[in-house]
Amino acid sequence: MAQFTEEEKIYRRVETRFSKGIVKYGLIEEGDKILVGLSGGKDSLALLELLGRRSKILKPRFSVVTVYIAMTNIPYQSDVEYLKSYAESFGVPFVYSETSFDESTDTRKSRCFLCSWNRRKALFAVAKEQGCNKIALGHHMDDILETLLMNQVFQGAFSTMPPKLVMRKFDMTVIRPMCLIPEADLIALAEVRNFKKQKKNCPFETQSHRSEMKKVLRLFEEMNPEARYSLWGSMNNIQSELLPDENI
């Protein structure tokens, strides 16, 4: 019987959930060209490896290209050569792109929102330039559940970031292939892979509610170790007859 190292066990666990998400939500199809947004964080590095390796499997045939988008007015220092060599180690072409934002153009939006919005615009632009039909983002299960809770608390909406979002207006599909992978597994993978940490010094990061929602999710899991799976299941178990009917 084969004996696996701890690193192999962690990767197999991550890759199994990765494959399950792709198949369950139909994220990859024959002939896809997928752009991966590479920030240098553990999530995007893991996503690049997972997609890079999977692209070598015969069916469905698809290709991958990755981009690092530098926000020139944010002091986020990444080792671009490290990211480039990492991408190329999986046979994935690397693209470097720069953008920025001017907060005076829209004082109604937070700087965090404007930064994120402009990164996303640049991502779509590069996807078009590279002839991609899909953009893969590194959101994991925790990200999706935290967004579900934040939207309920702050927006009064039962919604989140879906594993697959067809954006017909832009002729582009956004996929989240790591949707079924808990963040804890990606942290473990980053440790055994010894991912190089990038220097992050975002002056707007404290404006986000996400760090607080992470604590809420952990609190739920203290009450019920299966809480994350119950929350995930609730998105497909909406019992409308037991909810207020606004049409009455």
Give the residue extent of every domain in the chain: 6-208
To the nearest whole percent, how much of the chain has pLDDT over 90? 69
CA separation for the pair 227, 244 (Å, rounded) = 24
Q: Inter-axis angle of helices 227-234 and 210-223, to 10 degrees?
A: 110
Kindly tell me if the per-residue pLDDT of 193 is higher than 80.
Answer: yes
Which residues share a beta bridge with 175? 136, 164
pTM above 0.85, yes or no: yes
pLDDT at 109: 65
Kindly tell me if the per-residue pLDDT of 199 is higher than 70.
Answer: no
CA separation for the pair 143, 228 (Å, rounded) = 11
pLDDT at 44: 95
Output DSSP code: residue 110.
-
- Kindly report, residue by residue over 220-231, the tens digit of the pLDDT: 999 999 999 999
CB 148 within 8 A of CB 160: yes
Q: Give the tokens for residue 213.
A: 């929602």
**203 vs 144, higher pLDDT:** 144
Kindly tell me if the per-residue pLDDT of 21 is higher than 90.
Answer: yes
Output DSSP code: residue 12.
H
pLDDT at 108: 61
Kindly tell me if the per-residue pLDDT of 145 is higher than 60.
Answer: yes
CATH class of 6-208: alpha beta
The average confidence (pLDDT) of the chain is 89
